[in-house]
Amino acid sequence: MNFSMFWPKRKEKDSFDKEFISFDLFYQLAYMSSIAAAGIPRSQIFAFASQLPCTSAHYFKEIHVLAKQMRYDYAVACRMVGESAEIESVKSLLLRLASSLGSGEAEADFLAQEAGIQAEAFKNEYERGVESLRKWTEGYAALIVSAALIVMVAAISMLIYPVAISFTVALVGVTVIVAVLGAWAIFRVSPKEVRVHYPASNCSAYSRTRWLARLLLPVAVVGFFVIMLAGFGLGWAVIVAAILILPIGVAGILFDRQVKKKDSDISTFLRSLGNVASAVGITVSSALERLDLRSTANLANDVQKLRSRLDSRLKPEVCWQRFSLETGSETVYRSVKMFHDANRLGGDPEEVGARSSVVATTLDFLRAKRNQVSSSFGFLAFAMHAAIIGLLVFVVQVILLFGKVVEGVYTQGVAEAQAKAVEVFSFSFDSVGLLETLTLPTILVLSATTAFAVKAADGGNTYKFFGYLAVTFGLSGVGLVVVPMLVDKIFSSITAMT
């Protein structure tokens, strides 16, 4: 029986993302190792492997088609597909697989060995990504400070000397480019993994977050422009937008924490379930009734629902599939599919539980290392953003106030001064108004790039970005509203004397 009909596949992409190939190969080999341990024929191993919801399944689908429809031997088909593969890790794996199949080695032994090798390779690659992420998060602070200094230098230069407007615009453009490149670099070096199973519409937390996004994002955009058109200024408009998108980010962060907790418990759940079923000599469904859920408290409610559905005599395939979808976790989805398919095909529950938990256990340890870097970077980035925005707005406001106060006095003094003195001590007030116009979009870009950098370092679902964006927008809005008031109060005595 083809059990894959109960497990909906993710829509295939037009081009396969090479960034996730290591993560997908890790799961692919762990899955094939689990079902091969059940002693099923070679054709079934490749048939199930070709239907997995990951990019690497594309290659095994080609192998299965060549063997079934074109009547090639599986060893020859593996060699043909491997030689045409562009990704080096895939090519090496398929050529080794072709050699193993041609030599008569048992598929279960080879796949178990390759699964262990790929697990170690994925672990090393992930840890290298974490180290690169650590270095780039440290460098990002220097990049953003440098970008802010460029704007400040441009502001002072406009006041001291009549520089061309195009030069000032170019400096602000460099600031924007530096900030964008810094955030993009963090995104590129961050470890790549799939944490959320996006087709999981049955997950209440995911559905609630998506509903909030669809409702509040248009409201935030409309509210932003309404505040701007009403004349309250960019500061209040940004604050209102931040307040409106904050619930989306909070829901996304809570959903991400829920997924992390369930990912950390699924490995213990599958191992314990397999051990109980093997030790007592009963089916997995019967072992589920005897399982103590205190060690997997984060999955307790989901497991209770699974028990109720199985007791209602529903199809086990549908029950397990619904269980995995309701968690919203890609790791749970893949691990449960691996565990259920291997058990239904006749695998030993204890061995299947151990092999099915490898992916979740490895990811749990690696995510803990990543969290050490991302959490500290998040606090640093927000504090740095608040300081830079406050300083930038302060400098611009001081220059604008200085221009208003000095312009009339300076014009009168120039008319009475000697020509040589004017050439040495000259101030230009023609472009001061442009300074504020260029600074405001720069602040918005810095807010967006900082939020994106924190999200890229942390990983997780897309909706977390709106939470970080709400923080940076809120800090920027407060700076735009409060700092000008402080500048007016501080320099009120000066303006009173003129």
pLDDT by position in tens, the chain (length 498)? 444 444 444 443 433 456 678 888 889 999 998 888 888 888 899 999 888 888 888 899 999 999 888 888 889 999 999 888 888 888 988 999 899 888 888 888 888 888 888 889 899 999 999 999 999 988 888 888 877 777 777 767 666 666 666 777 777 788 888 889 989 999 999 998 888 887 656 788 888 898 999 999 999 999 999 998 988 888 899 999 999 999 999 999 999 999 999 998 998 899 988 888 888 888 888 888 888 888 788 888 888 989 898 888 888 888 898 898 888 888 999 999 999 888 888 888 888 888 888 888 999 899 999 999 999 999 999 998 998 888 888 887 877 777 666 655 555 554 554 544 445 445 555 556 667 777 788 888 889 999 999 999 998 888 999 999 999 999 999 999 998 888 888 777 655 555
Structure tokens given for 152? 């400040």
Query: What's the number of CA atoms in the CB half-sphere (13 Å) around residue 174?
Result: 17
Q: What is the pLDDT of residue 404?
A: 67
Q: What is the pLDDT of residue 14?
A: 34
Nearest to residue 473, comparing CAs of 179, 226, 243, 143?
243
Count the neighbouring beta carbons within 10 Å of the beta carbon of residue 115: 24
Our CA dihedral for 44, 46, 47, 53, rounded to 10 degrees, sits at: 130
Check if the beta carbon of residue 59 is closer than 8 Å to that of residue 90: yes
Q: What is the pLDDT of residue 199?
A: 64
Q: What is the pLDDT of residue 13?
A: 40
Helix axes 204-229, 234-280, angle to 10 degrees: 180
Residue type, 186: I
Give residue 233's region: left, alpha or beta (phi > 0; psi -120 to 50).
left
Adjacent-strand bridge partners of 329: 196
The span from the CA of 263 to the CA of 100, in Å, is 34
The span from the CA of 338 to the CA of 353, in Å, is 9
Check if the beta carbon of residue 463 is closer than 8 Å to that of residue 215: no
Structure tokens given for 213? 């996004």
Q: What is the pLDDT of residue 286?
A: 86
Instruction: Record the pTM.
Output: 0.84
Q: What is the pLDDT of residue 222?
A: 94
Q: Provide φ and ψ at 416, rounded to 5°.
A: -100, -10
Q: Where are the alpha helices (DSSP H) in 294-357?
A: 300-311, 316-327, 330-344, 349-356
Nearest to residue 437, comparing CAs of 52, 102, 168, 150?
168
Structure tokens given for 375? 């959490």
Instruction: Say whether 203 sits in a helix, a strand or coil.
Output: coil
Q: What is the pLDDT of residue 148?
A: 76
Percent helix, strand and coil across the chain, each rounded to 5? 80, 0, 20
The span from the CA of 63 to the CA of 241, in Å, is 52
